[in-house]
Amino acid sequence: MLQYSMLYPKQSVSRRTVSMDGMWKFCLDPEGKGTEIGWADGIPQADLIPVPASFQDFYTDKDTREYAGDLWYETDVFVPEEYAGKNVAIRFGCATHRAEVYLNGVHVASHVGGFLPFMADITNVARYNAVNKVVVKINNELSETNIPCGKTKVLSNGKKMNSPYFDFFNYSGLQRPVKLVAYPKEYVFDLTVDHRINGRDAEVSYSVVTTGEHPVEVTVYDEDGREVAVSQGKEGILHIENAHLWQVRNAYLYTFTVRIKDEEEVLDEYSEEIGVRTVEVKGKDILINGSPVYLKGFGKHEDSDIVGRGFHIGVMKRDFECMKWIGANSFRTSHYPYSDEIYQMADREGFLVIDEVPAVGLFESLMNFMEASTGKKTAFFAKDTIPELLENHLRAVEEMITRDKNHACVIAWSLLNEPETTDEAAVPYFEKVFARAHELDVQKRPRTFALIMNSLPDTCKCYHLADVISMNRYYGWYLMGGYEMCDAEAAFRAEMDKWAGKDLDRPFIFTEYGADTYAAEHKLPSVMWSQEYQKEYLEMCHRVFDSYDFIKGEQVWNFADFQTTEGIMRVNGNKKGIFTRQRQPKDAAFYFKERWESLPLNH
Using the minimum distance from each CB to ligand GCB, give the nearer residue, 374 or 602: 374
CB of 406 to ligand GCB, least distance (A): 28
d(CA 297, CA 560): 12
Using the minimum distance from each CB to ligand GCB, give the nearer residue, 258 or 462: 462
Contacts of 557 (CB under 8 A, 6+ apart): 298, 299, 472, 512, 513, 514, 576
Length of the chain as a residue count? 603
CB of 293 to ligand GCB, least distance (A): 23
Amino acid at 56: Q
Binding site for ligand GCB (CB under 6 A): 166-167, 335, 369, 417-418, 472, 512, 557, 574, 576
d(CA 447, CA 354): 9
Catalytic residue among 356, 364, 512, 532: 512
DSSP 365-433: -TTHHHHGGGT----GGGSTTHHHHHHHHHHHHHHHHHHHTT-TTEEEEEEEES---SSTTHHHHHHHH
CB of 344 to ligand GCB, least distance (A): 25
Strands 469-472 and 447-451: parallel
CB of 472 to ligand GCB, least distance (A): 5
Neighbour-count burial of 280, counting CB atoms closer than 10 A to its CB (0-12 exposed, 13-18 middle, 19+ buried): middle
CB of 562 to ligand GCB, least distance (A): 8
Q: Is 364 in the active site?
A: no
Using the minimum distance from each CB to ligand GCB, give the nearer residue, 393 or 576: 576
Using the minimum distance from each CB to ligand GCB, give the nearer residue, 97 or 407: 97
Using the minimum distance from each CB to ligand GCB, give the nearer residue, 91 or 301: 301
d(CA 268, CA 213): 12
Using the minimum distance from each CB to ligand GCB, give the nearer residue, 104 or 162: 162
d(CA 365, CA 421): 14
DSSP 300-349: --S-BTTTBTS--HHHHHHHHHHHHHHT--EEE-TTS---HHHHHHHHHH
DSSP 590: H
- Among the listed residues 23, 43, 59, 155, the one whose alpha carbon sits nearest the alpha carbon of residue 105: 43
CB of 335 to ligand GCB, least distance (A): 6
d(CA 188, CA 175): 27
Using the minimum distance from each CB to ligand GCB, give the nearer residue, 271 or 530: 530
Q: Where are the alpha helices (DSSP H) in 79-217?
A: none
Find the helix packing angle between 340-349 and 313-326, rounded to 10°: 30
d(CA 19, CA 21): 6
Using the minimum distance from each CB to ligand GCB, give the nearer residue, 364 or 441: 364
CB of 576 to ligand GCB, least distance (A): 5
Residue pair 517/576 in contact by the 8 Å Cβ criterion: yes
DSSP 573: S
Using the minimum distance from each CB to ligand GCB, give the nearer residue, 563 or 574: 574
Q: Which residues pair with 471 in a beta bridge?
A: 451, 510
d(CA 296, CA 291): 16
CB of 419 to ligand GCB, least distance (A): 11
CB of 452 to ligand GCB, least distance (A): 6
d(CA 151, CA 141): 7
Catalytic residue among 418, 420, 495, 532: 418
CB of 166 to ligand GCB, least distance (A): 5
Using the minimum distance from each CB to ligand GCB, give the nearer residue, 177 or 308: 308
Contacts of 33 (CB under 8 A, 6+ apart): none
Amino acid at 16: R
Q: Look at the alpha carbons of 294, 299, 305, 306 in this order and tell me if their dihedral is positive or negative.
A: positive
Q: For the chain, what is the total number of helices (H) and then of strands (E)? A: 9, 30
d(CA 186, CA 322): 43
CB of 59 to ligand GCB, least distance (A): 25
SS3 530: coil
Using the minimum distance from each CB to ligand GCB, give the nearer residue, 300 or 576: 576
Q: Is 341 in the active site?
A: no
> Where in the sequence numbering do the catalytic residues fall?
418, 512
